[in-house]
A and B are shown apart, each in its own frame.
Chain A
Amino acid sequence: MSKIVYADNNATTQTDPEVLEAMEPFFCELYGNPSSIHTFGGQVAGHIRKARESLASLLGCEPTEIIFTSCGTESDNSGIMSALYLNPERRKIVISKVEHPAVKNLGSELVRRGYKVEEIPVDGKGRLDMDKLKQEVNAETAVVSVMWANNETGNIYPVREVAQIAHQHGALFHTDAVQAVGKIPMNLAKESIDMLSLSGHKLHAPKGIGALYVKRGVRFRPYIIGGHQERSRRGGTENVTGIVALGKAAELAEKNMKLENTKVKALRDRLEKELVSAVPKTRVNGDTESRLPNTSNISFEFIEGEAILLLMNQLGICASSGSACTTGSLEPSHVLRAMGVPYTAAHGSIRFSLSRFNTEDEIDYIIKSLPPIIERLRQISPYWK
């Protein structure tokens, strides 16, 4: 298995070689602690500042509005817990049914701690039930958290409208934008989003670095208590290499934003179109009118996703599935189930997620390889006639 075709970029991405190059000096040469008083350490703080500016430029916000964290999950937890802490009289949070586990499972934990957590349903295409949202957000609500884009379907959610609804009732609005940053142009200065989470490794930085945006004027209570780092909003010595990497990745993402929405989108559209026309009994999951340019979630009916992934794996093709078997859980993806995707299709769903590193040849390879795999498994399936 020498050749790898990587079509699982919503899981994680390749670190861009330019990013690696940017972070390299901070291991063995510029390894000082940015909090140190000596120049050797202190100079590192300047690089962190620069990285913060690059990320702020990508998000369209002020550098001081950014708190570096360890990952998207930490950012989600920090934002939501801060909102709850600062509004103790409000005991309710409102999220969507299709949130990432970083928010969804935090919600389950908050229920155990005595909070009321309302999950807003979605329709067959995964679109949020805005009427239900309006009903549920009220004066008891401390925070509303709805993801900007969904990791499984790529669906883009109307965060601007949701933020407005939250604010009408005095609630804060947080969004998990882990999949959206770098793919959707943002200008947070013009939005009324209070908090936003992002993760480095989804935009060609390495794993272990994330950020939380907190709008100026929005109170914030640190989640990790410690030193004065990040203006006392996140304790712990800075992950300097990670921060520098995220800064560089943000700079590249801004530069390549157009590419994501032209080249990558064209690759995705071709992959999806050709697979759907080559293989009978398929369905595309999600809202094709409004989704990320890189994601395609296709169900191949009457067969099971893990088996498809393993056969693809034999050919070096990497993707994901919403099937129950791939995760060790026994239920298929909560996102597809929330959308009411029939079980025949949910178990056989495959998510392809591309990046700017994918090529036309790779797409050809997937288009050529997949139909025989599907056919082979359907021949074994008792449901395939």
Chain B
Amino acid sequence: MWDYNKKVMDHFLHPQNVGEIKDADAIGEVGNIRCGDALKLFLKLDPRTKKIVDVKFKTFGCASAIASSSALTELVKGMTLEEAAKVTNKDIVKILGELPEEKLHCSVMGMEALQAAIANYKGEKGEAPEDADHDGVVICKCFGVTDTKIRAVAKENNLHKAEEITNYTKAGGGCGCCLDDIQQILDELWRKEASKPAKHLPQKLTTVQKVMKVQEVMDKEIKPMLEKDGGSIELVDIQGDKVIVRLCGRCASCPASGVTLKNTVQDKLREFVAPELIVEEAK
């Protein structure tokens, strides 16, 4: 017997917003009866503000699938579509308090139904639907889960093990013969993520952000290296992409200081702050 908490049981025993909306502006449908769960979500939008004024669902599935659907509808009511697009499975779990590990895929199903509904709305309005879910190669044949979905869920929830992917997406939970493939996808994904520099940086830094970030990287990454050789560095100015620094201590008199500047300082700053930076020495 699953150990559902009171919140999950409340949503299961008294689900909110069950039903259909006849003239819905958006319908999202995910899962299928073969997989053992499915969710159909109906959204009604305010024509002016584009806020979700009504939402209804129908779910085929276990208690946690029904509870996740109910929680989702409570969550998104009143949101704009932009806000709703940012909802993740974690937000659904947060409302429910917790879900058993093996049931986390129910919350993912909620998120996917919402995304499908939003895509459905945009599709109707003539824009390209973002159907990331249906892209990619099917990895898990039992549940029809693609590599694209595996990567997306892994990134969102910081998953590193194939078994965790099973809990979130069901992939690998049938015959289990794709578990090795899933692990390979994860290993590749996280290897790439680790080697991807400055992954959390926004596209364009403001000047203040740039100064702060450069200072931080200099303090944490560059100074300790130079100090090992008895040298140091200080930031003089930043003009656009030009970072002007002064080498101190032994570095100042070192004949190889030009190499240090380009190979060490500039490379580190390009790696951690922005790839277009150019480092110059103060005159």
Closest 9 CB pairs of A and B: A330-B173, A325-B62, A382-B58, A306-B62, A382-B40, A343-B34, A324-B36, A381-B60, A328-B102
B39 within 8 A of A: yes
Given A310-B63, A330-B166, A304-B36 contact (CB < 8 Å):
yes
Cα separation A32 to B37 with both chains bound (whole Å) = 55
Say yes or no: B66 contacts A380, CB within 8 Å: yes
B12 within 8 A of A: yes
Cα separation A329 to B58 with both chains bound (whole Å) = 24
CB<8 Å pairs between A and B, sample of 23: A302-B33, A304-B36, A304-B60, A304-B62, A306-B63, A307-B63, A324-B36, A325-B36, A326-B62, A329-B173, A330-B35, A330-B36, A330-B142, A330-B143, A331-B174, A343-B34, A344-B33, A380-B15, A380-B18, A381-B59, A381-B60, A382-B39, A382-B40
Contacts of A305 in B (CB 8 A): 62
Q: A276 to chain B: closest CB distance in Å?
A: 21
B25 within 8 A of A: no
B29 within 8 A of A: yes
Q: Mark B1-29, 1 if CB is under 8 A from A, else 0.
A: 11000000000110100100000000001
List which A213-237 residues lie within 8 A (CB) of chain B. Answer: none
Q: Pick the most buried of A303, A330, A347, A381: most chain B CB atoms within 10 A of its CB.
A: A330
Contacts of A344 in B (CB 8 A): 33
List which B43-64 residues lie within 8 A (CB) of chain A. Answer: 58-63
A332 within 8 A of B: yes
User: Please, which residue of chain A has its CB at the minimum distance from the CB of B106?
Assistant: A325
* Chain B interface helix/strand/loop/mixed: mixed
Give the B-binding residues of A (Cβ under 8 A).
302-307, 310-311, 313-314, 323-326, 328-332, 343-344, 347, 379-383
B117 within 8 A of A: no
B149 within 8 A of A: no
Say yes or no: A332 contacts B40, CB within 8 Å: no
Say yes or no: A382 contacts B36, CB within 8 Å: no
Cα separation A332 to B142 with both chains bound (whole Å) = 12
Say yes or no: A332 contacts B36, CB within 8 Å: yes
B226 within 8 A of A: no
Q: A318 to chain B: closest CB distance in Å?
A: 10
Cα separation A314 to B1 with both chains bound (whole Å) = 13
Given A325-B36, A343-B34, A331-B60 contact (CB < 8 Å):
no
Cα separation A383 to B61 with both chains bound (whole Å) = 11
Contacts of A347 in B (CB 8 A): 33, 36
Contacts of A380 in B (CB 8 A): 15, 18, 58-60, 66
Given A380-B58, A382-B29, A307-B12 contact (CB < 8 Å):
yes
User: Please, which residue of chain B has its CB at the minimum distance from the CB of A313?
Assistant: B1
User: Please, which residue of chain B has its CB at the minimum distance from the CB of A321?
Assistant: B62
Q: B174 to chain A: closest CB distance in Å?
A: 5
Q: B148 to chain A: closest CB distance in Å?
A: 20
